[in-house]
Amino acid sequence: MPNLSRVASLARLPAFLVALPLSILAQAVRVDTAAPVNTINPRNSVGAGVDRIPVAAIDHDLTPQALPPVLASGWQPVTYRQNTDLAIETWHWNPEGVWSDPSGQGYFVGSATSTGFIRHSFGYALPHRGSTRNDGTGNVGFSRITDGDENTYWKSNPYLTSHFTGEPDSLHPQWVVVDLSREELVDTIRISWAEPRATKYLLQYWVGLDPIRLPTRGAWVTFPHGVIASGQGGTATQIVSDMPMRVRFLRIWMTESSNTCDTHGSADPRNCVGYAIRELYLGTTSKDGVFHDLVRHTPDQEQTTTYASSVDPWHTEHSAVNPKEAQVGFDLFFQSGVTRGLPAMMPIAMLYDTPENAAAEVRYLENHKYPVSWIEMGEESDGQYMLPEDYGALYLQYATALRRVDPNLKLGGPSFQGVNDDIEVWPDTEGRTSWLGRFLLYLREHHRMQDLQFFSFEHYPYDPCRITWASLYDEPQLVRHIVDVWHADGLPPNLPYFITESNLSSSTSETYMDIFSGLWLADYIGSFLTDGGSGVYYFHYLPLQLERGCNDSAGTFGMFTVKPDYSINQPLAQFFAARMINHEWLQSDGANRIYRAASDINDGAGHILVTAYAAQRPDGQWSLMLVNNDQESSHRVRVEFAAGTGQPSSFSGPVTESVFGRSQYHWHPARLDFNAHPPEVLNRAPQIYHGGNADPDGPIFHQSLISPAEVELPAASIVVLRGNVAPAR
């Protein structure tokens, strides 16, 4: 093993000393110059995301005083993330607008012509919600199916009925799944129906593992007496089996509606389609005819868990809203400077909203001449357990409404939540289980593939609190694999594809604050662009306060630790990694041609220790980003450029070397007692809020080399070499 203190100081040595032989053998990094594998302009393809965040963070971060250090990271275009779909809320992107029912309830459409300055916008809870939990900010709310109140009810999304899809309701079955938490004996299901009720439905149980998270590891089986062909509504008690059966998960699969009107009246056709359930009871009926219920009925997340296929976006002006968390208002977003004046990727809320509201949003943006690059349709429909045909039906309705506003809009989605493998769903009648494959098939069968102009997904590769240093070795293969999966599912090879949100989880805490996170970021961005990605967005752009991480340490989604007032305390590893990517590796404007590069440096167990990403910049220089994921040892490498197997050449003349490693950054964690000091207290207390500190904390080290034959990569470092390449001999 080399002398580690000597290795750590190599980046600060003069060039002629760095070039001297060491006791370790130099290995090779080879750049294949035969043809570029991708061409990107960072001004439209390497950016960051702004999400729903605390109102106090919005008011502090989006100011001329706070933005310069954020912009110094070098991320360029911005994607506006939309959180209300994750929270099972509808989005009032504009506080001003009109209700379908003038009394202040129904379906809200924001004003496209209002002149007030939109600083914040909010989500509104849905009174007819059917899922116990959700993925959004501040997981609050509960299902109306097991809340113990028969005056409330779940109702499915009217836009998934034949009135709006033009297709039979049986092609878009709506469903409710109940999780009893463990196997229980069940022979009776009692449903208290609201209107509209299901007239045809199946009562089913699951044989296998978890049907929500492992939908192909089992099958739904209809109870012996679970076929209901002419449901009458009211309170329907069905003996589903002659003997109690041991089950955990149950499903109501609804295929035909009574199309009778709900409690909101007949004036709006949306009130009179779909399915509605007041309360659900499961258990056994004893010999004396008495029903014994197993369900916990309570209006909170301790209730028996239910999942629903969709939710009616009907709500009221009094629906619960979290005043402390907000989406950034459009006017503040575009006028603050965070977008750098570049076109932004903008979302429309789709899962729990209306096409009319989405169309008004686009009209507002265009009326204000705000530059928009792409429109992302919905947010993480897979994470909301929506079937692909339902998403497809909504997608086409929204696309039709948006194209009436502007036929030139570039539409896409579905913004899959971060996964490392194919997204699978319950098989259809043909046995197909690929979510993306079935969504693409739906578009093709409706002759609407032209309405999908880009594909988007998120990337959160690791389970929080289960990360080891060796996880770094996986990242390049994870990105390459998932891109291959999407194309195997039928994604057209020429369709642009974006990762619109990505990072480690904030609860990875020390790993996130440590240099680990910077190495991961360089590998992730480099590998995605090398594998043909059209654009990638870092998350989260704006400084945020700490969250509770693993083992009672602190973590954050972002590039900085902040003080209680959100002002920046110090930059973290990902800030410096961002600068290495955006300022040292890539040229910020113009066509950067990406080439494949590979190293032969491994640990003997199949792990590549040094990864390499090559670009020929618009200024003609070659730029090579080298990531040494070996946390203990430096590696001396020889850099070669060759077309295929041709004769190699090397850097010639002055070469700029930029180094970011432990000599430039080292995180020192502080254990925090989150039981004694919850996060909100820690974030207010200057003496303990930071959860640790980095020392040293930059800057990136730069030096000039002359025609280096070999370079030294310090342990756990990112090194960028930039210069001209000699012609091949």
User: Hey, where are the domains in the chain?
Assistant: 4-39+592-664+699-725, 51-65+76-123+323-570, 154-312
Return the pLDDT at 7.
32
Return the pLDDT at 39.
98
Least Cα distance to 45 among 371, 493, 374 occurs for 374
Task: Examine the pLDDT at 686 and tell me if it is beyond 90.
Answer: no
Token duo for residue 100: 């379908």
The CATH fold assigned to 51-65+76-123+323-570 is: TIM Barrel (3.20.20)
Task: Examine the pLDDT at 5 and tell me if it is beyond 50.
Answer: no
Least Cα distance to 376 among 390, 362, 360, 393 occurs for 362
Return the pLDDT at 552.
66
Residue 596, phi-psi category: left (phi > 0), alpha (psi -120 to 50), beta (remainder): beta
Return the pLDDT at 59.
97
Token duo for residue 401: 């409404």
Task: Examine the pLDDT at 382 and tell me if it is beyond 60.
Answer: yes
The listed range with the strongest mean pLDDT (446-460, 548-562, 598-612) is 446-460
Query: Residue 686 contacts by C-beta under 8 Å, 6 or more apart in sequence?
Result: 563, 564
The CATH fold assigned to 4-39+592-664+699-725 is: Immunoglobulin-like (2.60.40)
Least Cα distance to 78 among 40, 36, 44 occurs for 44
Mean residue pLDDT across the chain: 92
Query: Residue 274 contacts by C-beta under 8 Å, 6 or more apart in sequence?
Result: 155, 156, 157, 158, 160, 161, 174, 196, 257, 312
The H or E element containing residue 364 is helix 355-367
Overall pTM surpassing 0.85 (yes/no): yes
- Angstrom CA distances, 354 to 60, 461, 697, stand at 32, 32, 48
Angle at 451 between CA 93 and CA 532, to 5 degrees: 95
* Band (681; pLDDT cuts 50, 70, 90): low
First-to-last C-alpha distance (Å) of the chain: 36
Return the pLDDT at 510.
57
* Band (688; pLDDT cuts 50, 70, 90): very low
Burial of 306 (0-12, 13-18, 19+ CB in 10 A): buried
Task: Examine the pLDDT at 560 and tell me if it is beyond 90.
Answer: yes
Return the pLDDT at 644.
86
Return the pLDDT at 505.
75
Task: Examine the pLDDT at 125 and tell me if it is beyond 60.
Answer: yes
Return the pLDDT at 345.
98
CATH architecture of 154-312: Sandwich (2.60)
Q: pLDDT per residue over 594-646, tens digit each?
A: 999 999 999 989 899 999 999 999 999 999 999 999 999 999 999 999 998 88
Return the pLDDT at 683.
53
Token duo for residue 190: 């009692």
Q: What is the chain's alpha carbon radius of gyration, rounded to the nearest angstrom?
A: 28
Q: pLDDT per residue over 214-250, tens digit each?
A: 999 999 999 999 999 999 999 999 999 999 999 999 9
